[in-house]
Amino acid sequence: MKSRYFLLAMMALLSVRAAAQATDKKEAAIKDMVDSKNYIFQAQTALPMHGGVRHLTTDFDLKVTPTAIISDLPYFGRAYVAPVNPAESPLQFTSTQFTYTTTPRKKGGWDVVIKPSDHKDVRQLLLTISSAGYTTVQVINQNSDPISFNGVIVAPQPH
């Protein structure tokens, strides 16, 4: 009977250890993506300044590469300047001139600040990335209300 309890305890200990190792591997993969500036933020919800949470049903993302920021995010909110093309979101853009700064968070994860210098409306993107990959993106605009998104970051798929 004691050997059965011992065997169950060992199995439980091994499964906890395996789960901890998997978590460590995921955190290392997320850190590598953040440090290498190579990931995709997949938006799941939008939180405009006015109004409620909007659950996003189609693919909206923010691609971060070492040489470009490619945003395909929706915008819900008040604009203070009329857009050139009202059919396009002010958050649909590509930036090749930007600063990218990372700061580790005290309890794990990272704060990332991206400041595009070649886009007239978006002043900065503030990403709060957890060690598990859950991410909040706050977009600070020049001519419209700020907006936030919740989602996850994933590795880009090789072509």
Least confident among 18-27, 41-50, 59-68:
18-27
Burial class of residue 141 in the structure, from the number of CB atoms within 10 Å of its CB (0-12 exposed, 13-18 middle, 19+ buried): buried
Output 16 or 27, whichever has higher pLDDT: 27
Q: How many beta carbons lie within 10 A of that of residue 139, not counting itself?
A: 24
Res. 58 pLDDT band, cuts 50 70 90: confident
Whether 10 shows a pLDDT value over 70: the answer reads no
In a domain, 159, yes or no: no
Res. 82 pLDDT band, cuts 50 70 90: low
In a domain, 54, yes or no: yes
In a domain, 25, yes or no: yes
Q: 79 is written with which tokens?
A: 């604009």
Average pLDDT over residues 139-143: 87
- Give the structural domain span for 83: 2-154
In a domain, 53, yes or no: yes
In a domain, 64, yes or no: yes
Structural domains counted in the chain: 1
**pLDDT of the residue at 3:** 67
In a domain, 65, yes or no: yes
Q: What is the pTM (predicted TM-score) of this model?
A: 0.80
In a domain, 36, yes or no: yes
Total residues found in the chain within this entry: 159
CATH number, domain with residue 55: 2.40.128.410
Residue type, 79: A
In a domain, 102, yes or no: yes
Contacts of residue 137, Cβ cutoff 8 Å, sequence gap at least 6: 41, 43, 62, 73, 125, 126, 127, 148, 149, 151
